[in-house]
Amino acid sequence: MSETILVTGASAGFGQAICRRLVADGHRVIGAARRIQKLQKLQGELGESFYPLQMDVTDLSQVDHALASLPADWSQIDVLINNAGLALGLAPAQEAEMADWLTMIQTNIVGLAYLTRRILPQMVERNDGYIINMGSTAGTVPYPGANIYGASKAFVKQFSLNLRADLAGKKIRVSNIEPGLCEGTEFSLVRFKGDEKRVESLYQDAHAIQPEDIANTVSWLLQQPKHVNVNRIEIMPVSQTFGTQPVYRD
């Protein structure tokens, strides 16, 4: 059954791959992002089943304006995919830029929470809907330099579970996808602020997961019967695993 799906961060990476897959699956997709030109180009590829929506989730008034601008036949959101997010820097906490911390908090936490709060009431009123959040293995596994990024994804994980608790008795599903190392996106280029050599060395011979792998996961979630809820799904490349905890000795 075709549904209307809102995907944030749709101009590149996971979001773009998710839009392509869901349109191919027969859904109508609203792709939201700051870069409207990239969305319009994607619309040229995907056709009338894709609606480009300029939205910066860090600007709450712009979120309101964007949602209010949707045509009537696109205004019922059946599925919300909170994909927009970013990491900035990999410095230890005592050296990190506060501006980077605030941007991550505003995007990964405040923007996600605000958009969810705006969309959720219509789902509750219909007693039907699905919220899929994009978390990270960093929300569970700490590593040096993850500080605020990891904490923000831990928020996404716990927020998703608490939504499930609040929605008990309602026919609304909530899932958190938690990817590990993934290439083919702008994530690391943004994190390392354009340092292409550092990005290249990170992914060299790592056989990381691809945006299409995440898009396929979203598609699979949507294909599950509506009485099935997948709370969390953690995905890593085979090359990545859990390291031992280091012990430093004086």
The verdict on whether 114 is a catalytic residue reads no
Which residues lie across from 170 on neighbouring strands? none
| E strand spans, 72-229 | 79-82, 129-134, 172-179
φ, ψ for residue 21, nearest 5 deg: -65, -40
34, exposed or middle or buried, with CB in 10 Å at 0-12, 13-18, 19+?
Answer: middle
Which amino acid, 179? P
Largest CA distance in the chain: 66
Question: One of 143, 149, 203, 248 is an active-site residue; which one?
Answer: 149
Residues β-bridged to residue 182: 209
Q: Is 186 exposed, middle or buried (0-12, 13-18, 19+ CB in 10 A)?
A: middle
100: left (phi over 0), alpha (psi -120 to 50) or beta: alpha
- Distance (Å, whole) CA 46 – CA 199: 30
So which residues are the catalytic ones?
Answer: 149
